[in-house]
Structure formats: structure tokens, C-alpha cells
Amino acid sequence: MDILNLIRAGIFLVGGLVCIIFGEGLNNFKNKLLLKFHLEKMIKDERKSYFYIGFIFIAISIILLVVAINS
């Protein structure tokens, strides 16, 4: 069992869950930072993309978990 891949799987799992659960908060935080840096042209609603990124992170986490168990 490879402990490093287990740690990586946990990090990706937490990142994926944060992206899915707190997607609206992440979007608001990004937009506030863009306003602070005077980049109003780049502000848009990306809540749906955070949802997709979360699922990609969870898929990576599952792959790493399988690799860690098989090692």
C-alpha cells in the first residue's frame, strides 16, 4: 500500500468536495478578488465549471486510491 498516493487521493477528494459544496462561495471569492485587482472584464458566473472540476478531482482521487491499494 503506497501511503503517498493515499495522501494525494485524500487531497484531491477534499478539493473535489470543496468545489462541489462551496462552488458559489468560490465563485464569489474569485469575483471579489477580480474587483480588487480592477479586472472587471473577467468577472463571470462559473459555478457550473466548479461543479465539473469537483467531479474531475473526485475521479482523480478514486484512480489514485485504486493505484495505492494495488501497489
Tens digits of residue pLDDT in 2-26: 899 999 999 999 999 999 999 999 9
Say which residues have a Cβ less than 8 Å from residue 34's Cβ, sequence separation at least 6. 40, 42, 43
71 has a pLDDT exceeding 90: no
The angle formed by the CA atoms of residues 25, 27 and 30, to the nearest 5 degrees, is 110
* Rounded-to-integer distance, Cα 57 and Cα 64, Å: 10
Number of structural domains (the chain) is 1
Query: And the C-alpha cell for 27?
Result: 465563485
35 has a pLDDT exceeding 90: yes
The label of the residue with cell 469537483 reads 54
- The domain containing residue 48 runs over which residues? 3-70
